[in-house]
Structure formats: structure tokens, C-alpha cells
Homo-oligomer: A and B are copies of this chain.
Amino acid sequence: MRTSRRDGMETRQRLLEAGCRVFAEKGYQDANVADICRRAGANVAAVNYHFGGKDALYGEVWRHIFDTFMQAYPVDGGLPADSPAENRLYALVLALLHRPFDDGRLGEGFQLAVREMVSPTDVFAGTYRELVTPVRTRTHALIRELLGPAATGQQVLYCEISLINQCLSANFSRGRRKLLFGRERFSRAQLEGLARHITDFSLGGIAAIRALAESGQCGS
């Protein structure tokens, strides 16, 4: 294993990590390559040398974070498929909550994803579906199961959205976290408490929608 000048980590790798940090912090436009190179302890030309340009680095950063994302917390929460639906819902919610509330790489990834939702880049288009589909699939199945067969497709969809928005929108940025919850840091226990709340709240909500569906009423 070759050792690099600094700490054994290849320049390319250091650039990638600096890129993750900086792009997550400032967004694509506000980030500047000189800053990224400086943080990576590399030359101004390093980004162009190793990646071919700012765009390409951003693509790699996104892909890198994206992969981390997909591996980090499996949405099934490691639970067997025959666990009670309530348990599986809790596991799902907790898994989803980990993303925005992670204080490390995953948090950066979530920041980046939010930025991409707000100001989409070309890079985004290709991977978003790939990023979201497994979550959607799993969520959809679970909600359908909980709503029962009487629910319409739209009821399932809307419940999905209610659920996902509770989990993912809880944390856009440090600032919003502070404003919304009154604190910036969440311990594991606090996160579990929040997951518990979202699960209970959503189970109640789903039950209400199910009752409506079975009573024959139906939203637009």
C-alpha cells in the first residue's frame, strides 16, 4: 500500500472528502474549487487533474455520498419480514430519521440531497429515482398492508407522503433544527423518542384513513 504525502490517503480521496464537506456546506455554486483543494491539502489544479473539473467532482461526490447512503441504514432496520407491521414501521421510521440527523457523512449526504431537491443539477436527475425507489417501495408495501385492501391508491400515496415528510423534513439544516426543536444535537435516545412519536402518530393517522376507507368514504 503506497503512502501519500500527508496521511496515507490518496490526494484523490482527500479531494473527494473535502468536496463532500464543502458541497454539503455551501452548495454547488457557493463552493469553490480553490477552497476544496486547500482543505484537501492539494494544489489548485488538483480537482481538474483528478476529476476533470468542478462538475465532474460534484458528480463523484454525489455518487460517493449516494452509495454511502444506500449502505448505511437499510430501510428494513434489520427486522425479519414477518415481524408485526408496527415494529417494521418503527424500524423504517428510525432508519429514515438517521439520515437527516446523522452528524457525519450521512448528514452531509442529506444536506446535499436537500440542496438537489431545491436546486436540481443534471447529476441529480439520474440518481434520484435510484436513491428513492427502495424507500418508496418498502414504504408503499408497508402502508398498503396497514391500510388494508379497501384503501384507494391515492390514499396509500398520501399516507406515504405524510410519513416520509415527517421523517425527512424534520431536519433541513442546523438552523432549522434549532428553530423547530429548540436544540441542535440529538442523542440516540432522543432520536428514538422522536421515531416512537412519528410511528405512533402515523399509526393513528393510518388507522383513521383506514376507517374512512372501509366506511366507503374516499378523498378526492
| A interface residues, Cβ below 8 angstroms from B | 26-27, 29-30, 111, 114-115, 117-120, 124, 128-129, 132, 154-155, 157-159, 161-162, 165-166, 168-170, 172-173, 175-176, 179-182, 189-190, 192-194, 196-198, 200-209, 211-212, 219-220
Contact = CB atoms under 8 A, between A and B. Distances in A.
Interface class of chain A by DSSP:
helix
A102 to B, nearest CB: 17
Given A158-B197, A161-B181, A197-B162, A120 B173 contact: yes
Contacts of A172: 114, 117-118
Contacts of A114: 118, 172
With a 10 A CB-CB cut-off, give which of A132, A175, A197, A198 has the most chain B CB atoms. A197
Contacts of A157: 181-182
A111 B118 CA distance: 8
Contact of A201 (B124, B158, B168): B158
A201 B197 contact: no
Contacts of A115: 118-119
20 contacts: A27-B118, A29-B30, A114-B118, A118-B118, A118-B172, A120-B175, A132-B179, A159-B197, A161-B166, A168-B169, A190-B220, A196-B219, A200-B205, A201-B202, A201-B206, A201-B209, A203-B205, A204-B205, A204-B206, A204-B207
Contacts of A182: 157
A187 to B, nearest CB: 9
